[in-house]
Amino acid sequence: MSHELLVTPLHALHVEMGAKMVPFAGYDMPVQYALGVRKEHLHCRDAAGLFDVSHMGQLRLHGANAAKAIEALVPVDIIDLPSGKQRYAFFTNEEGGISDDLMVTNFGDHLFVVVNAACKDQDIAHIHANLPEDVTMEVIDDRALLALQGPKAAEVLARLNPAVSDMVFMDAMKLELCGVECYVSRSGYTGEDGYEISVPADTADAFARELLAYAEVEWIGLGARDSLRLECGLCLYGHDLDPTTTPVEASLLWGISKCRRADGERAGGFPGADLILEQIKTKDVARKRVGLLGHSKAPVREGSKLFDVNDNEVGIVTSGTFGPSKGMPVAMAYVQTGLAVIGTELFAEVRGKKLPMTVEKMPFVPQRYYRG
């Protein structure tokens, strides 16, 4: 039984622009445009790329205890998240695994939450099941979500409203763009400076055309979105993170707030806390997420098995592609903890051949977030 694919408010524009459309998380989404994946990737690194991410879930939580309710589901400080700030978080399960990652913004009178498209329904159900009576959740289905990313993103968006220039990385504000109220955060998924913009669905087409009218801006599809995020060491849920992987195994310790750790003022209190806090304390995990650089031109794809110098199978690639900015194959993988050391040589099995790769520090290219 086939289910009809959902479409975003910008679907007709993608088709008009000649996008190659593919099924993704239940939606018909653009994987690339006429430029092609490599040129789109490089354009985003050099100028400004526009991404349609309207397939992701947008939620509002209302009520004085909204932050407390979300904090009970994540190992992250939400209660003390300042108004006008955004924070990366992840839902954990009772086994310490990650059931999705998300962005949480404090807009003062409510929390604004963005969740992954593939996990949207389960996340909404999970939050709803854990809300106290005095907190209400509103699923936003009348707004599109766009990302404008790259070194010229700020210059372009400031032409529509100069206030965006004063924002720094992870700032968020409501402001007017092209005559409509938008929710804007200075963040993104490319490692570049840029913005994510929630815009009313009925004005999304006109807003996108306004941005595309600038010479600096090109549409960027899912293909380049993947190579951009991978070069910058950013995880993709369902690939590099899943319900069987703990934050410690995933090298996401930076995402666990100090106040939620064993010696913090609000220690634990999230699903799987005992296991995760024990792993932080003992560092005793069997595998770790690492970055890998290839030495040939051949990309090493997700699912490729990894071997050590003695030909023992020691891990598996979870994301892999050729990095257009890096100029060589880049990958993320889980390997035995003893091999998760910068400089370790491993071999990826690709079509019966063992291709050499080296464990490298991530990000593979510098992150260029604007911190003021």
Residue 102 domain-assigned (yes or no) = yes
pLDDT digits (tens, 9 = 90+) for 170-179: 999 999 999 9
What pLDDT was estimated at residue 367? 97
- Report residue 316's pLDDT band, with 50, 70 and 90 as the boundaries: very high
* β-bridge mates for residue 28, sequence order: 23
Claim to verify: residue 259 and residue 172 sit in the same structural domain = no
Pair (225, 304) in one structural domain: no
Establish if 238 belongs to a structural domain. Answer: no
CATH code of 80's domain: 3.30.1360.120
- What's the whole-number mean pLDDT along residues 312-332? 98
Number of C-beta neighbours around residue 287 at 10 A = 20
Residue 289 belongs to a domain: yes
Which residues neighbour 242 within 8 Å (Cβ) at sequence distance 6 or greater? 97, 98
Residue 345, marked binder = no
pLDDT of residue 1: 41
Residue where a domain terminates, one of 203, 232, 261:
232
pLDDT band at 137 (very low <50, low <70, confident <90, very high): very high
The domain that contains 316 carries what CATH number? 2.40.30.110
pLDDT in tens, 231-290: 999 999 999 999 999 999 999 999 999 999 999 999 999 999 999 999 999 999 999 999
Q: Report cis status (omega within 30 of 0) of the bond before 366.
A: no
> What does the pLDDT average to over 31-60?
98
Same domain, 120 and 34: yes
Whether residues 288 and 153 fall in one domain: no
Domain range spanning residue 130?
Answer: 1-232
The answer on pLDDT for 321 being more than 60 is yes
Residue 355 lies in a domain: yes
Residue-level pLDDT at 136: 98
On whether both 176 and 260 belong to a single domain, the answer is no
pLDDT for 305: 98
pLDDT average, residue stretch 58-84: 98
**How many domains would you assign to the chain?**
2
Domain for residue 367, yes or no?
A: no
DSSP string across 322-351: EETTTTEEEEEEEEEGGG-STT-EEEEEET
CA distance 39 to 118: 27
| Whether the Cβ atoms of residue 77 and residue 267 lie closer than 8 Å to each other | no
What pLDDT does residue 3 have?
76
pLDDT digits (tens, 9 = 90+) for 146-195: 999 999 999 999 999 999 999 999 999 999 999 999 999 999 999 999 99
For position 237, what pLDDT does the model report? 97
| 274 and 158, same domain (yes or no) | no
Residue 242 belongs to a domain: no
pLDDT at res. 205:
98
pTM above the 0.95 mark?
yes
Q: Are 262 and 317 part of one and the same domain? A: yes
Average pLDDT for the chain: 97
| Residues 41 and 120 grouped into a single domain | yes
Q: With 60 as the cut, is the pLDDT of residue 2 above it? A: no
Are residue 7 and residue 90 in the same domain, yes or no? Answer: yes
Considering only residues 365 and 296, tell me which one the structure prediction assigns the higher pLDDT.
Answer: 365
Q: Locate all alpha helices (DSSP H) within the chain, ordered by sequence.
A: 11-16, 37-46, 66-71, 120-129, 153-158, 204-212, 222-231, 273-282
> Does residue 218 sit in the same domain as residue 161?
yes
Q: Are residues 53 and 191 in the same domain?
A: yes
Answer yes or no: do 228 and 257 share one domain.
Answer: no
